[in-house]
Amino acid sequence: MIRFATSSIAATAVFISASMPFHAALAGEALKVTVNGMVCAFCAQGIEKGLSAMPATKAVFVDLKHKVVAVEAKDGHALDRKAIAAEIVDAGYDVVRMETVPQSVADIQAATRAQK
């Protein structure tokens, strides 16, 4: 399900900027984002494609079952939380939570596969 609601975008942007201290994820870390609204492979593909096109992105993993998107920075680059959140929200989904984790996207993907 994809929703396009201006008020949702504004509310998400305010939530992200007000409730999350600015900390860019560095190489060797990943941003783990909880996303509502993803229900199919097409949803996952759209988010993955948009985030992969960002200049600092090394890897992206989307887990539909757990509603998680993981994004890893290229070496020497930092991920921009606001830009990542905006990309997800602009695609029509809601960002519920965003955290920096000391894992690579490959590690997150392996852990998710082990849970299945």
For the chain, which residues make up each domain, given as ranges? 6-115
Q: Residue 89 contacts by C-beta under 8 Å, 6 or more apart in sequence?
A: 8, 9, 12, 13, 95
Q: What is the pLDDT along the chain (116 residues), one digit of tens a residue?
A: 444 344 444 344 434 433 443 445 554 689 999 999 999 999 899 999 999 999 999 999 999 999 999 999 999 999 999 999 999 999 999 999 999 999 999 999 999 888 86
**What's the pLDDT score for residue 35?**
97
Instruction: Tell me what pLDDT residue 6 has.
Output: 40
pTM: 0.75
Asked if 70 and 61 count as a contact pair (C-beta separation under 8 A), the reply is: yes
The correct CATH number of 6-115 out of 3.30.460.10, 3.30.70.1290, 3.30.465.10, 3.30.70.100 is 3.30.70.100
